[in-house]
Amino acid sequence: MHVISLFKHLNCNCVRIIILSLFLCVATLSPAQKHFPNIGFGINRHATDGRLVGHLNLGLLSKVDTLHGVQVGVFSSVVSGEMRGLSVGGLMTVSHRMKGFQIAGLTNVSTTPMQGTQIAGVTNISMGIKEGMQIAGAVNVCSGYMRGLQVAPYNYADSLNGSQIGMLNVAVSHPRGWQVGIINYTRDTIAHKIGLVNVNPKTCIDFLVFAGTISKFNGAMRFRNHSTYNMIGVGTHYLGLDKEFSGAIYYRLGQYFRLWPRWTVSGDVGFFHVETFKPHSQETPKRLYSLQVHVNMDYQVNEILGAFVSTGYGDTRYYSGGDYRHRFLFQGGISIRYNRK
């Protein structure tokens, strides 16, 4: 699956999560209060307009109209109006106007922009964050303007004026702040990113197929930004064609310079993890690693097809310490540009 398609797929899943959560919110916050009573007890009172105002509410399915204090529900904790304080649910919490803390085993939902902190075992969803933080075991979603911090394996925000820390970070726009993760994606080009792969609409994505003197057959993806690039790839027959099957996965980080419209020269450093698929022995251990440097020359034949050659040096070592082998390397192959138009 192409990287951009992956982002679209993940964003579609986020939309599904939002729709499902909103459905639950609409059902849970229905004005037909008789269908969704407060199954709990505590220090509560009825206001003159009939609203149930909670200061300390404990129950199985805890629900109040306004919370100024603490509410704990074994299954759910719902506040259909203003929430100031702490809301805890074994499965989920739902708040309308949230200023405080939501903590849930599965999902926290704020149906309007929140101020505060959401902590969930699986998913946090907010229709915006004025000032706050989302921490989740799987997914954070901010559908709107987000001023604050998201920490989860997957983070999404419409407009991020803050930071995302996770494995995959996605934002439509990111005027200020940082994305820190393995893969970072925004639809603008001004965001600050720290990651193995950083993607924006101006990123050139190339699929590389090439042969070499160390890993004999290789496939990789290269992500070129303004003057830097990242590569993630796999290679086979690392120990040689006359040996049993061995392979490597690797990451390379480099800088490139455009010499002429069709010619570029680049240099990079890379880390290779090598699997020999053999029982461990002194001659050939089960796993090795290699540090390599490359100098590359690329020629772009047309908008899609390119060709390149590389030379460099590889230092392969035991993970336990010590040298396995040192070798100059040569590579050559073709590049196929992913056209997103």
Model confidence pLDDT, tens digit, residues 200-220: 888 999 999 999 999 999 999
Q: What is the pLDDT of residue 47?
A: 77
State the DSSP H helix or E strand holding residue 10, giving kind and residue range, or none if neither.
Answer: helix 3-28
* Band of residue 2 on the pLDDT scale cut at 50, 70, 90: very low
* Consecutive H or E run containing 49: none
Average pLDDT score, the chain: 87
Higher pLDDT, 5 or 227: 227
Residue 281 pLDDT: 63
Mean pLDDT, range 317-328, rounded to an integer: 90
What would the mean pLDDT of 138-144 be, rounded to a whole number? 94
Separation of alpha carbons 325 and 292, rounded Å: 12
Q: Rounded distance, CA 63 to CA 149, Å? A: 28
Q: How confident is the model at residue 34 (pLDDT cuts 50, 70, 90)?
A: very low
75 exposed, middle or buried (CB, 10 Å; 0-12, 13-18, 19+)?
A: middle
Q: Are 314 and 327 in contact (CB under 8 A)?
A: yes
pTM: 0.80
- Residue 40 token pair: 């709990």
Partner residues linked to 83 by β-bridges: 67, 98
| Structure-block tokens of residue 317 | 């070592």
Buried b (16+ CB within 10 A) or exposed e, 221-252: bbbbbeeebbbbbebebbbeeeeeebbbebbb
Q: Of 59-73, 181-195, 199-213, which range is least confident?
A: 181-195
A 10 A CB-CB count for 114 gives 30
Query: 258-315 pLDDT, tens per residue?
Result: 999 999 999 999 999 999 887 766 667 889 999 999 999 999 999 999 999 999 999 9
Residue recorded with tokens 């704990």: 72
